[in-house]
Amino acid sequence: MIKPHGSKELTPLYVEDPEQRAALEKVAAELPSLLLDSAAAANAVMLGAGYFSPLFGYMNLADALSVAENMRTTDGLFWPVPIMNRTDAIDSLRDAHRIALLDPNVEGNPVLAVQNVEKIEEIPDELLKRIAEHTFGTTDTGHPGVATFMSSGRYAISGPIQVLNYSYFEKDFPATFRTAPQIRDLISKNNWEKVVAFQTRNPMHRAHEELCKMARETVNADGILIHMLLGKLKPGDIPADVRDAAIRKMVELYFPENTVEITGYGFDMLYAGPREAVLHAIFRQNAGCTHLIVGRDHAGVGDYYGPFDAQAIFNDIPEGTLEIEIFMADHTAYSKKLNRVVMLRDAEDHTQDDFVMLSGTKVREMLAAGEELPEEFARPEVAHILMGFYQSEAGR
């Protein structure tokens, strides 16, 4: 199986042994505590689940800046985005060597992890803007990822962590949430050698379905990992439970048996475009996938990135840095001339009118009004699940 990124073995930071975990929970109860923001909590979950191997905790300011500017930590590890724990609430932590990290996303704010404090550093405004500019390509707070990043706190707390649980993800998504080691186990049990990963934060329409099938056939893969984001999104995006149900129905009815694993991961979307695409590649490599589909405007938002910027960035990565291979996809749509879904780059003799295309706004309006989507655009069983969601939202 493909090796993890930057190491021969995964380094999940979740404390597996129940006795050790119980002992650490007792210790945590006596430690100074910090209520994390959602971004730092998501980072802890990803560290615990092995997706961020070989990192051992939150980055200090020097590493965060080096990663933002050069995509490498100060000791040379290739990494595309800063992984930080930031806060304004440091008064009770200034002399602490170890702190309990509290979960902001679970009622009662239980301890999510324990951190050894190596540094607490104030981040000057200009440095924060530099990190944002390199990571997101902009400092415009109209960008949802930038808005979150710029408001996350003026102090960076760095150091290794030990993770005690996976926040709400295991409870809320027991059939879907999987760690990187668990996905590697799935791949091994299926006897899959080549695995294509498909990243999604949205429901999958007909074009996404066919794209996965095209990628599997093109690279001669044994299976497809549909790997959905289960964490926080921007307002207006479809909740994870609705996406999960829609994707499961699509796979059940329209994919060959035993060719797809449906899984999810506990992270908040960054909307960082090219940099996030590279992060997606790293944690899919850590999960054992050999290929990642990177499509048009992958991990983007609005007009902040060019349609193929998330593909072009992989051309600038030194050869051998990543073992996972990138399947570079164009926009896909149903061709009325060919009576099948195609990539636009493969349909040179087409005009816009030859494709079945609907804007996101139009799709939402139709579903909320109870109107059927064209079957060329969405499978009817999937559309009905989404219709139920939008109609319930409209009725509130």
The pLDDT-based confidence of 395 (bands split at 50, 70, 90) is low
CA 104 to chain centre: 19
Closest CA to 345 of 386, 296, 272, 389: 296
CATH fit for domain 176-394, picks 3.40.50.620, 2.120.10.30, 3.30.70.270, 3.10.580.10: 3.40.50.620
Domain definitions of the chain by residue range: 18-170, 176-394
pLDDT value of position 223: 97
Residue 360 has pLDDT above 80, yes or no: no
CA dihedral of 188, 194, 197, 203, whole degrees rounded to 10:
-90
Provide φ and ψ at 206, rounded to 5°. -55, -40
Q: Note the pLDDT of residue 345.
A: 87
Q: What is the pLDDT at residue 394?
A: 65
Calculate what percentage of the chain has a pLDDT beyond 70. Answer: 99
Q: Which of 47-61, 131-145, 183-197, 347-361 has the lowest mean pLDDT?
A: 347-361
Does residue 233 have a pLDDT over 80? no
- The catalytic site residues sit at 201-202
pLDDT at 262 over 80: yes
What three-state secondary structure class fits 329? Answer: coil
For residue 396, pLDDT over 70 is answered with: no
Fold of the 18-170 domain: Sulfate adenylyltransferase (3.10.400)
**For residue 78, how many other CB atoms are within 10 A of its CB?**
17
Helix or strand run (H / E) with residue 195: strand 195-200
The yes-or-no verdict on residue 98 having pLDDT over 70 is: yes
Return mean pLDDT, the chain: 94
Mean of the pLDDT values across residues 29-50?
Answer: 97
Helices (H), 298-342: 309-312
pLDDT at 236 over 80: no
What is the reported pLDDT for 361?
Answer: 79
The mean per-residue pLDDT over the stretch 49-59 comes to 98
Q: Is pLDDT at 393 greater than 80 in this prediction?
A: no
Span 232-240, mean pLDDT? Answer: 79
The pLDDT value given to residue 244: 92
Q: Is the pLDDT of residue 39 over 70?
A: yes
